[in-house]
């Protein structure tokens, strides 16, 4: 069967672009053979090692390499070693690290729900993760125990035709910046991508469906969903009726996918498949200056040392913090046009204001005068306040013009008051240590470390990258 046969009814122009992409991303037979050979070696080594343990354990290859859905050049092999549930957690961790260190002597320990070993083997990046051999649908001992079930469910449903479509969809999602379930990206996971292709049948069918999605969209392959989810996209996990596989997907990424699905259906282009790392450009100082000049806004940046936490902790905290500070500024009467958060060695909470300064007074409208008790309280509160204009009457209400607490947003950001905003815990600690506020033109100082982030900020596109 040629690659094109399954795409009945899809226009040849689209088909041509997809073929061009497949030429780049389909692993060739040499790559597949190398992968199989390496996996076979790993499996043998692990099995031998496990035989020395006083418990039995089996070896399960998981992830995209197990399902043939990896993109050419990906070198990631994920192996789970499943121990019986009788084994206590300490022993599981001990055996898990022992087999990992033995098979991947140059590897090192990392930590998800258990510690595991990650290392290179014959040029491949291998994760060797211990887990419990729980029954599908039974109580999980930890989230990683779910992974082998995903694998089992998918193995019988992903043939080469489906796998090819999954690869194209993954490449597309990467190209538009919507691939990855990490908490920085909040996009589509590999597993979700696979389930979507299985659900709709092929790449184009997924795009055609997505182009018409009216969130909330609910997909329940096994028709066994038990929980209500407050998410725009709900794909019930075939191996766990209470779980939404798409829970981490942000509304923006779902909209982004919808947008590019329509764009591609209308006019197929290879550029939609170009991933951010292929496209990103560092913004130079002159370009930043030009944007500042052109926008006429008042951007401000809180800059501080990135706390030493993983990205999945860091980015949610950065988002929470910048939103908290935005809300605090808005409460003080400042208008915010856009915000962002960047992180590298330093972290940046970036807030672009309409104006740096507000007038010294703010209008404060009281209750309707007919509501006698409240109205009287309001009047009495301000009647003798020399710092307040009024109370006077406008229509059916009392009005005063009060002194504003903060007339300079930069002064607010430099003050202790920001600690009353909703901040992520580790961000709050980092700010309490020390931080700098860059105001307006001073933000060009960010260019050397955050040139790429500034490009994304000042030259925003639908893909966000």
Residues that bind a second copy (CB under 8 A): 211-215, 232, 251-252, 254-256, 258-259, 262, 294-298, 337-338, 354-355, 357-361, 363, 369-370, 372, 376, 379, 389-398, 401, 407, 458-462, 464
Q: How far is the CB of 175 from a second copy (least distance, A)?
A: 15
Q: Which of 74, 69, 49 shows the shortest CA–CA distance to 59? A: 49
Q: How far is the CB of 403 from a second copy (least distance, A)?
A: 9
Q: Is 133 annotated as a binding residue?
A: no
Task: Report residue 69 as tokens.
Answer: 């859905």
Comparing CB distances to a second copy, the nearer of 105 and 359 is 359
Comparing CB distances to a second copy, the nearer of 32 and 397 is 397
Strands 361-368 and 336-343: unpaired
Q: How far is the CB of 317 from a second copy (least distance, A)?
A: 20
Q: How far is the CB of 369 from a second copy (least distance, A)?
A: 4
Q: Which of 110, 128, 49, 54 shows the shortest CA–CA distance to 87? A: 54
Q: How far is the CB of 267 from a second copy (least distance, A)?
A: 12
Q: How far apart are CA 459 and CA 270, in angstroms?
A: 21
Q: Is 214 exposed, middle or buried (0-12, 13-18, 19+ CB in 10 A)?
A: exposed
Q: Is 127 annotated as a binding residue?
A: yes
User: Residue 223 carries which DSSP code?
Assistant: S
Contact 238, 195 (CB under 8 A): yes
Q: Is 315 annotated as a binding residue?
A: no
Q: Interior CA angle at 143 toward 139 and 144, to 5°?
A: 115
Q: Is 191 annotated as a binding residue?
A: no
Comparing CB distances to a second copy, the nearer of 80 and 264 is 264
Q: Is 417 annotated as a binding residue?
A: no
Comparing CB distances to a second copy, the nearer of 305 and 387 is 387
Q: How far apart are CA 224 and CA 235, in angstroms?
A: 11
Could you give phi then psi for residue 30, rounded to 5 degrees?
-60, -45
Residues whose CB is less than 8 angstroms from the CB of residue 315 and which lie 6 or more positions away in sequence, other chains included:
182, 183, 184, 341, 343
Q: Is 179 annotated as a binding residue?
A: yes
Task: Report residue 321 as tokens.
Answer: 């913090």
Comparing CB distances to a second copy, the nearer of 184 and 397 is 397
Comparing CB distances to a second copy, the nearer of 232 and 307 is 232
Contact 83, 92 (CB under 8 A): yes
Q: How far apart are CA 39 and CA 36, in angstroms?
A: 5
Comparing CB distances to a second copy, the nearer of 85 and 263 is 263
Q: Is 142 annotated as a binding residue?
A: no
User: Residue 148 carries which DSSP code?
Assistant: H
Q: How far apart are CA 401 and CA 389, in angstroms?
A: 5
Task: Report residue 15 as tokens.
Answer: 């088909």
Task: Report residue 9 as tokens.
Answer: 């009814």
Where is 312: in which H helix or E strand? helix 311-331
Q: How far is the CB of 83 from a second copy (least distance, A)?
A: 43
Q: Is 116 annotated as a binding residue?
A: no
Q: Is 262 exposed, middle or buried (0-12, 13-18, 19+ CB in 10 A)?
A: middle
Comparing CB distances to a second copy, the nearer of 79 and 400 is 400
Contact 90, 96 (CB under 8 A): no
Q: How far is the CB of 253 from a second copy (least distance, A)?
A: 9
Q: How far is the CB of 295 from a second copy (least distance, A)?
A: 5
Q: How far is the CB of 107 from a second copy (least distance, A)?
A: 39
Comparing CB distances to a second copy, the nearer of 85 and 250 is 250
Say how many C-beta atoms besides its own lie within 10 A of residue 227's C-beta.
Answer: 11
Q: How far apart are CA 348 and CA 346, in angstroms?
A: 7
Q: From the annotation, which residues make up the binding site for Mg(2+)? A: 76, 78, 127
Binding site residue list: 64, 67, 76, 78, 127, 150, 170, 179
Annotated binding residues for ATP = 64, 67, 150, 170, 179
């Amino acid at each position: 069967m040629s690659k094109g046969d399954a795409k009945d009814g899809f226009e040849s122009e689209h088909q041509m672009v997809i073929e061009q992409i497949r030429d780049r991303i389909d692993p060739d037979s040499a790559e597949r053979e190398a992968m199989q050979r390496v996996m076979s070696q790993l499996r043998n080594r692990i099995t031998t090692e496990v035989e020395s343990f006083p418990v039995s354990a089996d070896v399960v290859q998981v992830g995209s390499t197990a399902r043939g859905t990896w993109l050419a050049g990906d070198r990631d092999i994920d192996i789970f070693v499943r121990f019986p549930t009788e084994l206590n957690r300490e022993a599981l961790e001990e055996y898990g690290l022992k087999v990992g260190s033995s098979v991947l002597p140059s590897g090192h320990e990392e930590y998800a729900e258990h510690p595991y070993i990650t290392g290179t083997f014959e040029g491949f990046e291998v994760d060797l993760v211990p887990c419990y051999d729980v029954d599908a649908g039974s109580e999980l001992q930890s989230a990683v125990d779910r992974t082998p079930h995903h694998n089992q469910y998918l193995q019988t449903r992903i043939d080469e035709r489906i796998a090819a479509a999954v690869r194209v969809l993954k490449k597309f999602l990467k190209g538009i910046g919507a691939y990855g379930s990490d908490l920085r990206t909040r996009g589509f996971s590999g597993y979700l991508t696979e389930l979507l292709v299985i659900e709709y049948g092929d790449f184009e069918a997924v795009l055609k469906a997505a182009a018409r999605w009216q969130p909330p969209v609910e997909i329940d392959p096994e028709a066994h969903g038990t929980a209500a989810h407050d998410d725009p996209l709900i794909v019930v996990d075939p191996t766990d009726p209470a779980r939404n596989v798409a829970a981490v997907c942000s509304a923006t990424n779902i909209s982004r996918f919808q947008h590019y699905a329509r764009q591609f259906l209308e006019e197929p282009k290879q550029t939609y498949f170009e991933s951010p790392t292929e496209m990103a450009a560092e913004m130079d100082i002159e370009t930043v200056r030009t944007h500042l000049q052109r926008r006429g806004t008042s951007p401000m940046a809180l800059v501080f040392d990135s706390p030493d936490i993983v990205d999945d902790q860091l980015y949610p905290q950065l988002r929470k913090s910048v939103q908290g500070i935005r809300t605090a500024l808005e409460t003080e009467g400042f208008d915010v046009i856009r915000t962002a958060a960047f992180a590298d060695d330093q972290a940046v909470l970036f807030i672009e204001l309409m104006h740096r300064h507000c007038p010294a007074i703010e209008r404060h409208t009281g209750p309707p005068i007919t509501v006698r008790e409240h109205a009287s309280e309001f009047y009495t509160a301000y009647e003798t306040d020399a710092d307040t204009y009024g109370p006077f009457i406008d229509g059916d209400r009392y009005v005063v013009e009060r002194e504003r607490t903060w007339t300079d947003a930069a002064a607010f950001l430099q003050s202790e008051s920001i600690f009353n905003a909703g901040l992520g815990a580790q961000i709050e600690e980092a700010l309490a240590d020390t931080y700098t506020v860059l105001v307006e033109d001073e933000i060009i100082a960010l260019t050397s470390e955050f040139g790429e982030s500034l490009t994304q900020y000042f030259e925003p596109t639908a893909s966000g990258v």
